[in-house]
A and B are shown apart, each in its own frame.
Chain A
Amino acid sequence: MSKDNQVLEELTSKEYEHGWSTNIEADSAPKGLSEDIIRFISSKKNEPAWLLEWRLKAYRQWAKMKEPRWPNVSYPPINYQDIIYYSAPKKSPKAKSIEEVDPELIKTFERLGISLTEQKRLTGIAVDAVIDSVSVATTFKETLGELGIIFCSFGEAVQKHPELVKKYMGSVVPVSDNYFAALNSAVFTDGSFCYIPKGVRCPMELSTYFRINAANTGQFERTLIVADEGSYVSYLEGCTAPMRDENQLHAAVVEIYAMKDAQVKYSTVQNWYPGDAKGVGGIYNFVTKRGLCAGDGSKISWTQVETGSAITWKYPSCILKGDNSMGEFYSVAVTNNFQQADTGTKMIHIGKNTKSRIVSKGISAGHSQNSYRGQVHIMKRATNARNFSQCDSLLMGDKCGAHTFPYIDVENNSSKVEHEATTSKIGEDQIFYCLQRGIDEESAVALIVNGYAKEVLNQLPMEFAVEAQKLLALTLEGSVG
């Protein structure tokens, strides 16, 4: 036990790999939030009047709202006037072609293992790279354009496809949905936009890579994915940030709109800076993600691997409005040191024969707290709705906590709802068995944890699955008790 704890401490003190920052000149708004700041952001982005109005409306809503205190996390009050709401790399914030992108930025992303130069890219993934507040490059646009797929930064979509943005923005996550969604709606700076036309199967993975670079900055991006009838897209999201002593706020909104028979698969590998071993610094990751299965037979699937952030507070959800629509949520949330996570999903069954599946795997180590919070709501007209939920918790050491808060509301008695939950510890017997086969303790924990999370990791696209496995191993190696 004592040796295990020692190993745990050694390994959990492992440094965050992406903790460097790049020296890029930034164009920033002054600290603080007001209608003027919102006007500043809107004019910086050269936005149409309707969007400014939309933002201001959101701001006024937000000003009346109270920060939620129900999540099972604790942090000192956030001073919203002490945050910079807009920061953009100074040189050519949005280049027309990759050649025009600041070489420092290209280097930044290369250090992250993401090449923005198309010929160097592994085939099969188009990337939209977002640094601080703005999108700096989007790859493979032409290839996608030939199929009618729109994949660009949110700012560009506002300029070029205002009718789509206007129609769908806020249609899944209304401005007043919650405190952080309202804040985002007021101050969002960029993000990704994606539209897949009728009947088109997107031939490559679309990906957004977020990087917070500047200090004292919040990152507020929006992602909007619209999948037209019978289309299919798989979307990936990754994120990292430098190591800083202060807490940085990341309050994003992701909206997915799926029409009849459309399928959207959204995968996240979240690796924001988690803070140091004593719990100093780290990102507050307060994110609203929701998908609307608007059309019959549509399907939205969320997969997330959450390893970073000081605090994670997010519930990627599905509103199953269309008949025979389906929602899935696969999650691995890992917390270590003093990290806190309150994450889960909401499955709202409205249409007939709707199905949902929830597989949540929580892993807690160190002094961390890890909560699963989920809601399954079967509405009155959701005849024959089905839900299956499985929530497993794995504990490492004796100073961490795992909590499960499942809420089930059933208003239609033809439905079938199943909930399974387990809590386990990595057994010393399991570790010893591995050691006896010549496998060192770190690899043993990595094996066991990856085995535990396999059902979720299997949902990830190949490239991400490998990254996710490494991340799990890195975050947890040796954390046995």
Chain B
Amino acid sequence: MLSIKNLQAKIDDNQILKGINLEVKEGEVHAIMGPNGSGKSTLASVLAGREEFEVVEGSVQFLGKDLLAMSPEERAREGLFMAFQYPVEIPGVSTINFMKTAVNQMRAHRGQPALDAVSFLSLMKERMKLVEIDQSLLNRALNEGFSGGEKKRNEIFQMAMLEPRLAILDETDSGLDIDALRIVSNGVNKLRTKNNAVIVVTHYQRLLEYIVPDFVHVLYKGKIVKSGTKELALELEAKGYDWIKDEVAIA
């Protein structure tokens, strides 16, 4: 589904990704871990198409297409979703209105007619349950005055609405208390199918107790320096990142 080869990217003159290789197949959950500043969020941003990062080398295939050649909105319409670490606020625009625009633009891209108000609302009500989100929150301006947990829940609600093939959760666990973490994770788990995939970008092992990964990759200084199964995450939790740094230094 997603094939990243030798991906290198920089911002201004600062190279952050120094040759990432990663294969993600349908039905898989990959966790990307690593110390602060290792390039985790940059990788997520480059995949989503943020302009301030310049790809200098490498290729990314997504569902057989050249992801890097697509605009951010095309990537989204092809099924790539990013749950933001810091979801923005848009005053005066309700989440409902926002999602209606997004869902219908995605549908138009797939050659489907726009959903009428009734069908949209029933779809919305069904998906709201998955993430235990209240409609009153969705009537409010997008993320405006939301708590950290509410913002993250809203991200997963949007994921539920848009049904992506590949979801990238960028530090979705940051700022969540244990209850919110459980709700958000349950939402993500309910959305898993054998056709879609999830990349979980996180600093801590905590989230991976809820969203259990098939593979864990450690990103350090812009490269994946170690890959393994979920046991690797536990090892990192127990030992910290220093031993990885030492390993890299020796190699």
A residues with a Cβ closer than 8 A to B are 3, 427, 429-430, 432-441, 443, 447-448, 450-455
Contact = CB atoms under 8 A, between A and B. Distances in A.
- Give the bracket for the number of chain B residues in contact with chain A: 20 to 34
B144 to A, nearest CB: 10
A434 B72 CA distance: 9
Contacts of A435: 49, 71-73, 76
A448 B93 contact: yes
Contact of A440 (B73, B81, B158): B73
Q: Is the interface of A mostly helix, strand, loop or mixed?
A: helix
B93 A450 contact: yes
A357 to B, nearest CB: 18
B98 A447 contact: yes
A447 B48 contact: no
Contact of B90 (A430, A438, A443): A430
Interface in B87-128: 87-88, 90-93, 97-99, 101-102, 105-106, 109
Contacts of B50: 432
A451 B91 contact: yes
Interface in B159-211: 162
Contacts of B40: none
B92 A455 contact: yes
Interface string B49-85: 1110000000000000000000111011100011010
28 contacts: A429-B88, A432-B50, A432-B51, A432-B72, A433-B84, A433-B87, A434-B98, A436-B49, A436-B72, A436-B76, A436-B81, A436-B82, A437-B99, A437-B102, A438-B73, A438-B76, A438-B109, A441-B73, A447-B101, A448-B90, A448-B93, A450-B92, A451-B90, A451-B91, A451-B92, A451-B141, A453-B92, A454-B92
A426 B88 CA distance: 12
Nearest to A446: B101
**Which 9 residue pairs of A and B lie closest in terms of their CB atoms, listed nearest first?**
A451-B92, A451-B93, A454-B92, A438-B76, A437-B102, A435-B72, A438-B77, A438-B106, A435-B73
A3 B75 CA distance: 18
Contacts, number: 72
A452 B91 contact: yes
Given A440-B105, A447-B101, A451-B93, 17 more contacts: A427-B88, A429-B88, A432-B50, A432-B72, A434-B98, A435-B49, A436-B72, A436-B81, A438-B76, A438-B102, A438-B105, A438-B106, A439-B73, A439-B102, A447-B90, A451-B90, A452-B92
Contacts of B141: 451
B101 A433 contact: no
Contacts of B49: 435-436
Contacts of B105: 438-440, 443
Contacts of B102: 434, 437-439
B109 A437 contact: no
A93 B61 CA distance: 68
A443 B92 contact: no
Contacts of B99: 437
A16 to B, nearest CB: 26
Nearest to A437: B102
Contacts of A437: 76, 98-99, 102, 158, 162
A435 B102 CA distance: 9
Residue among A430, A438, A443 with the most chain B CB within 10 A? A438
A6 to B, nearest CB: 12
A454 B158 CA distance: 23
Contacts of A453: 92
B249 to A, nearest CB: 36
A165 to B, nearest CB: 42
A331 to B, nearest CB: 16
A433 B82 CA distance: 9
